[in-house]
């Protein structure tokens, strides 16, 4: 498919320590063969051995120690905490856990805005386009979301890809993430906006005979494109938000309103039909994650990892009344120097971890890097310009630093975003 959019502390000792850490990360990056601006092929080279030779976590990380101690216990046949290989199951969220979700919002929504507002290969209805514009205005300007609009967004996004085969959808998303830059994070596309320390975590668990499953609110076919070739996670180990799949001919039937009516069709009527995406079916967030795990795995995982209140039911399910040792990790979005953290959300999640016995993981304090040393947060501080181009022409602020406005029609004024329609 064609795709040509334009989305876009404290004292000297601490500063010196951060400088040393950055230098160390640069050396480690060179040692692993990663390029200055890594590709997805480069990220696929990030691997951790069974013994746990992590490179992108700070060595004094409390969470990393708990992870290693837990894995050591459940893999030791002489330990009373030993877990058989067949029961070593882990579940991971995607947005904000494996993939950036703060530049400026959830990936599903970034893809939705592109499809309905900036994709020349797709023509939405006037009503669909108006809703997308209004929703983009809310997201980009941090306005209050009207009740029910989040659910409607899921339904609208699915409508934008009705009639795609599963492969066509994956190919579309693959092209998008390989070419689309991430807003105000230098040298980064959405395809490489994956947390290096978390690639290591998944690799470490797989090396220790864990079966790692995705459990995410992101569209299932979108998840396939995001994790492909990076993680040792087979596509059939993805649980996520779903659409209906149906014979292509059924899309042309006037009575089709959402769910497929297969029982009304004979084999002869459906024979030879392509299987394509239909309308929205269900969202895999909050307690729906527990529902998905229960139905698709039929047993409790022993380890889970997420980053928000939408993952709390999964944490509870995994760590309460589990016949095996279990642990839940919650990634805290507390880094406002290397990423667009949310200290308020991070503090709420940290408090919940303390109250429930989950492990809070500080991105700021426990990670040596997030996306590698060449990716830096860029905030224009004194520029007033509107990006009306379709190729993201270079734009410089008054200090001579190269920046790019995030979306077409977005006005950057003193570091804040304003829609300019």
**pLDDT at 18 exceeding the cut of 70:** no
If you average pLDDT over residues 304-321, what whole number do you get?
98
Q: In the prediction, which pLDDT does 256 show?
A: 58
327 within domain boundaries: yes
**pLDDT at 287 exceeding the cut of 80:** yes
Q: What percentage of the chain exceeds 90 in pLDDT?
A: 67
**pLDDT at 31 exceeding the cut of 50:** no
If you average pLDDT over residues 313-334, what whole number do you get?
98
Whole-angstrom distance, CA of residue 58 vs CA of residue 112 = 36
- Structural domain boundaries, residue 55: 12-103+189-242+283-366
Q: In the prediction, which pLDDT does 102 show?
A: 87
Q: In the prediction, which pLDDT does 378 show?
A: 78
**pLDDT at 146 exceeding the cut of 80:** yes
Whole-angstrom distance, CA of residue 223 vs CA of residue 238 = 7
382 within domain boundaries: no
| pTM of the model as a whole | 0.83
pLDDT tens digits for 192-243?
999 999 999 999 999 999 999 999 999 999 999 999 999 999 999 999 999 9
Q: In the prediction, which pLDDT does 264 show?
A: 67
134 within domain boundaries: no
Do 158 and 115 meet the contact criterion of CB atoms below 8 Å apart? no
Buried b (16+ CB within 10 A) or exposed e, 374-407: bbbbeebeebebebeeeebeebebeeeeebbbbb
Q: In the prediction, which pLDDT does 254 show?
A: 52
Q: Is the peptide bond before 104 cis (omega within 30 degrees of 0)?
A: yes
Q: In the prediction, which pLDDT does 392 show?
A: 40
Q: Tokens 């890809």 appear where?
A: 161
Mean pLDDT of the chain: 84
In the chain, the number of structural domains is: 1
Confidence category of residue 106, pLDDT binned at 50, 70, 90: very high
Q: How many residues does the chain have?
A: 421
Do 240 and 223 meet the contact criterion of CB atoms below 8 Å apart? yes
Q: Tokens 């992108």 appear where?
A: 56
**pLDDT at 387 exceeding the cut of 80:** no
And the tokens for 258? 């959402």
168 within domain boundaries: no
Which of these ranges, 260-274, 322-336, 357-371, 382-396, has the smallest mean pLDDT? Answer: 382-396
Q: In the prediction, which pLDDT does 54 show?
A: 98
Whole-angstrom distance, CA of residue 324 vs CA of residue 208 = 16
**pLDDT at 406 exceeding the cut of 50:** no
Burial class (CB in 10 A: 0-12, 13-18, 19+), 97: buried
Q: Please list the alpha-helical segments (H only) found in 91-146.
A: 107-113, 126-140
236 within domain boundaries: yes
Residue of 198 and 12 predicted with greater confidence: 198
And the tokens for 73? 């216990």
Q: In the prediction, which pLDDT does 343 show?
A: 93
Q: In the prediction, which pLDDT does 271 show?
A: 81
**pLDDT at 9 exceeding the cut of 80:** no
187: left (phi over 0), alpha (psi -120 to 50) or beta: left
Q: How many CB atoms are closer than 10 A to CB 256?
A: 17
**pLDDT at 182 exceeding the cut of 70:** yes
And the tokens for 332? 């805290």
If you average pLDDT over residues 142-171, what whole number do you get?
93
384 within domain boundaries: no
Whole-angstrom distance, CA of residue 331 vs CA of residue 342 = 12
CATH code, domain with 20 = 3.40.50.1000
If you average pLDDT over residues 80-91, what whole number do you get?
98
194 within domain boundaries: yes
415 within domain boundaries: no
């Amino acid at each position: 498919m064609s795709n040509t959019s334009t989305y876009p502390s404290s004292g000297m000792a601490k500063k010196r320590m951060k400088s040393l850490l950055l230098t160390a990360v640069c050396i480690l990056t060179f040692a692993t063969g990663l390029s200055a601006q890594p590709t997805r092929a480069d990220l696929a080279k990030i691997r951790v051995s069974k013994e746990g030779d992590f490179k992108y976590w700070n060595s004094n990380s409390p969470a990393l120690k708990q992870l290693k101690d837990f894995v050591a216990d459940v893999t030791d046949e002489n330990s009373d905490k030993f877990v058989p290989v067949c029961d070593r199951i882990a579940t991971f969220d995607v947005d904000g856990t494996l993939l950036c979700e703060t530049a400026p919002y959830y990936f599903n929504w970034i893809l939705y805005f592109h499809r309905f507002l900036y994709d020349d290969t797709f023509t939405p209805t006037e009503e669909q386009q108006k809703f997308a514009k209004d929703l983009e205005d809310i997201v980009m300007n941090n306005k209050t979301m009207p009740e029910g609009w989040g659910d409607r967004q899921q339904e609208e996004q699915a409508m934008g890809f009705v009639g795609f085969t599963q492969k066509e959808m994956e190919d579309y998303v693959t092209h998008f993430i390989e070419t689309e830059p991430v807003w105000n994070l230098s040298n980064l596309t959405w395809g490489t906006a994956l947390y290096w320390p978390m690639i290591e975590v998944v690799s470490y668990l797989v090396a220790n005979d864990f079966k790692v499953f995705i459990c995410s609110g992101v569209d299932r076919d979108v998840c396939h494109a995001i994790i492909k070739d990076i993680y040792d996670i087979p596509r059939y180990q993805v649980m996520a938000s779903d659409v209906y799949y149906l014979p292509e001919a059924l899309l042309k039937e006037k009575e089709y309103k959402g769910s497929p009516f297969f029982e009304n069709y004979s084999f002869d009527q459906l024979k030879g039909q392509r299987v394509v995406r239909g309308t929205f079916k269900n969202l895999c967030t909050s307690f729906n994650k527990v529902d998905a795990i229960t139905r698709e795995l039929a047993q409790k995982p022993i380890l889970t990892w997420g980053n928000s209140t939408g993952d709390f039911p999964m944490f509870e399910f995994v760590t309460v009344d589990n016949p095996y040792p279990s642990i839940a990790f919650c990634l805290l979005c507390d880094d406002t120097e290397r990423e667009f953290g949310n200290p308020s959300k991070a503090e709420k999640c940290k408090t919940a971890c303390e109250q429930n016995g989950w492990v809070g993981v500080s991105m700021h304090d426990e990670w040596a890097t997030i996306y590698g040393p060449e990716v830096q947060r860029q905030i224009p501080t004194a520029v007033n310009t509107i990006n009306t181009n379709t190729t993201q022409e270079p734009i410089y602020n008054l200090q001579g630093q190269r920046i790019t406005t995030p979306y077409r029609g977005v006005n950057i004024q003193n570091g804040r975003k304003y829609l300019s329609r």
